[in-house]
Structure 1
């Protein structure tokens, strides 16, 4: 199974979603995923014994290309309020990143 296949997120959901949701909202985790820091999840996949090293590497590449795909998989079993909290935090991080990028671009031309 490749990280790009439609079932990949289903495996991550099955392996980690319940525990992720049960731990409650964690801003630091959503911020790390948003920034593309996947070490915790890479190690968890590798240690689960369910995935080959190649599959783990493919998953990480998929997450690097689309970090929200990891969050989507982790929230697949979340209740509406938990999902909303994470999506609100994600959107705020998107806005902050866009603002920071425009400030840096303006500084280069100043």
Structure 2
């Protein structure tokens, strides 16, 4: 499993939590993360201007290798109920096949 540096993962979590706080993180978002559809979150990080192209490439590569890194970043500031719902959904994705994004 590829691991992000600790400081970077915390920064990614803070930036993504701030970006998506109003929209909320739901089961469909978790499904997209699980299936590897990470473009919306990569673009959100890119628009912050905090990371250079190399760092963005490393971050998205780590997400591709282990989507749980993105999941955890999105849930960094989530309330306990949201976190539990999303983890339960994730577990269900692992135990039964799910349709591909858009399918």
Q: Which TM-score band (shorter chain)?
A: 0.7 to 0.9
Gaps of 5+ in 1: 101-110
Residue 82 of structure 2 corresponds to which residue in structure 1? 82
Gaps of 5+ in 2: none
Residue 40 of structure 1 corresponds to which residue in structure 2? 40
Post-superposition offset of 1:9: 1.6
- Which consecutive aligned stretches of 4+ in structure 1 deviate over 6 angstroms post-superposition? none
Contact 1:36 1:64 in 2 (8 A): yes
TM-score, normalised by the number of residues in structure 1? 0.78
Backbone CA RMSD of aligned residues: 2.0
Post-superposition offset of 1:29: 1.1
Post-superposition offset of 1:44: 1.0
CA distance in 1, matches of 2:21, 2:88: 16
TM-score, normalised by the number of residues in structure 2? 0.83
The structure with more radius of gyration: 1
> How big is each residue's C-alpha offset from its partner over 1:44-97, in whole Å with a ceiling of 9 and x where there is no partner?
111111110111100000001110111111111111101001101111111114
In terms of fraction of residues, the more helix-rich structure is: 1
Helix, strand or coil: the match of 1:7? helix
